[in-house]
């Protein structure tokens, strides 16, 4: 097979992985704070199933950028992929015990990987935590081989959970919501507006990736809703309020 050919999605040795389903995902999301293990494990399984609709993972090279505790990396490895976890924060990396093999401290803006060196470059719930999403996406595309996939999923600022633990007061302004949280809890929120959480929307990211000639948009839709809800991302304004979390899958062009 030529190096730049898209892989077949059929796995030689494993049965297809079933997506988790929107209802189970949404239910698990409501318990994200009390039972993060359950939510992130389900989300990881669902994400891997989503990717396998477009590309086989067995034997493929995957980079999980901002992989945190490694839920997604484990799910990729379970499907036979060689997955490298890149995470800038050691506390996050160790938050669920010692990380597995092939985990490195590294920053998504400067990935320690050669051009076109991975089949899938993945990031889940990271984009809203970076100040320069265009630079972050650019770097993900750089390391992805032609024919490979770039997977992005991130929380939309104007959605009900946009302010994370400061929600819904982020609707009154990110700085106000952070100050209010600090007053109530006696400490700053972990996701601090302007430092580790930014107002990332649907429209700006979709226009950014659509303008690029080196990627094609394969999927763009609300992450936790049924597939038929994809029309929501076509409605300017409303999509910022209703999408909640945007999934974008790109295919790297030659």
Ligand X SMILES: C[S@@+](CC[C@H](N)C(=O)[O-])C[C@H]1O[C@@H](n2cnc3c(N)ncnc32)[C@H](O)[C@@H]1O
Residue numbers of the site for ligand X (CB under 6 A)?
A: 40, 65-69, 71, 87-89, 92, 107-109, 124-126, 129-130
Whole-number minimum distance, CB 10 to ligand X, in Å? Answer: 28
Comparison of 153 and 243: residue with beta carbon closer to ligand X: 153
109-126: b or e for each residue (b if 16 or more CB lie within 10 Å)?
A: eebebeebbbbbbbbbbb
Beta carbon of residue 68, minimum distance to ligand X (angstroms, whole number): 3
Handedness of CA 28, 154, 7, 54 (dihedral sign): positive
Helix-helix angle 71-78:36-52, to 10 degrees: 40
- Nearer to ligand X among residue 48 and residue 65 (C-beta): 65
Nearest distance from residue 159's CB to ligand X, in Å? 15
Minimum Å distance from CB 32 to ligand X? 10
Nearer to ligand X, 146 or 199 (CB): 199
| 12 phi and psi angles, rounded to 5 deg | -70, -35
| Closest to ligand X by CB, 58 or 107 | 107
- Spatial contact of 57 and 77, defined as CB atoms under 8 Å apart: no
> Measured from the CB atom, is 4 or 32 closer to ligand X?
32
> How near is the Cβ of 151 to ligand X at its closest, in Å?
11
Starting at the edge strand that comes first in sequence, how are the strands of the sheet with 215-222 ordered?
103-105, 82-87, 61-65, 118-124, 144-155, 245-252, 215-222
User: Nearest distance from residue 109's CB to ligand X, in Å?
Assistant: 5
Query: Of 103 and 124, which has the nearer Cβ to ligand X?
Result: 124
Which tokens is 55 given? 């590309």
CB 115 within 8 A of CB 143: yes
In whole angstroms, what is the distance from residue 99 CA to residue 63 CA? 15
- Per DSSP, what are the bridge partners of residue 85? 64, 103
* Cβ atoms of 41 and 69 closer than 8 Å: no
């Amino acid at each position: 097979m030529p190096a730049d050919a898209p892989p077949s999605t059929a796995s030689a040795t494993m049965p297809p992985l079933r997506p988790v389903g929107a209802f189970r995902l949404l239910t698990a999301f409501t318990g994200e704070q009390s039972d993060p293990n359950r939510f992130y494990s389900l989300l990881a399984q669902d994400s891997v199933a989503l990717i396998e609709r477009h590309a086989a993972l067995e034997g493929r090279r995957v980079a999980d950028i901002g992989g945190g505790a490694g839920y997604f990396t484990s799910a990729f490895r379970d499907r036979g992929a060689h997955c490298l976890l890149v995470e800038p924060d050691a506390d996050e990396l160790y938050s669920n015990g010692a990380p597995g093999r092939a985990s490195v401290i590294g920053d998504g803006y400067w990935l320690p990987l050669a051009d076109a060196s991975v089949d899938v470059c993945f990031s889940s719930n990271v984009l809203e935590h970076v100040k320069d999403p265009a630079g972050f996406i650019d770097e993900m595309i750089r390391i992805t081989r032609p024919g490979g996939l770039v997977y992005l999923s991130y929380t939309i600022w104007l959605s009900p959970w946009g302010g994370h633990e400061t929600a819904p007061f982020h609707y009154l302004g990110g700085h106000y919501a952070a100050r209010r949280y600090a007053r109530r809890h006696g400490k700053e929120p972990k996701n601090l507006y302007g430092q580790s959480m930014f107002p990332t929307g649907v429209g700006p990211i979709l226009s950014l990736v659509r303008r690029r000639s080196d990627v094609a948009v394969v999927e763009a839709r609300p992450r936790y809703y049924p597939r038929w809800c994809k029309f929501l991302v076509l409605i300017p304004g409303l999509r910022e309020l209703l999408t909640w979390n945007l999934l974008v899958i790109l295919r790297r062009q030659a």
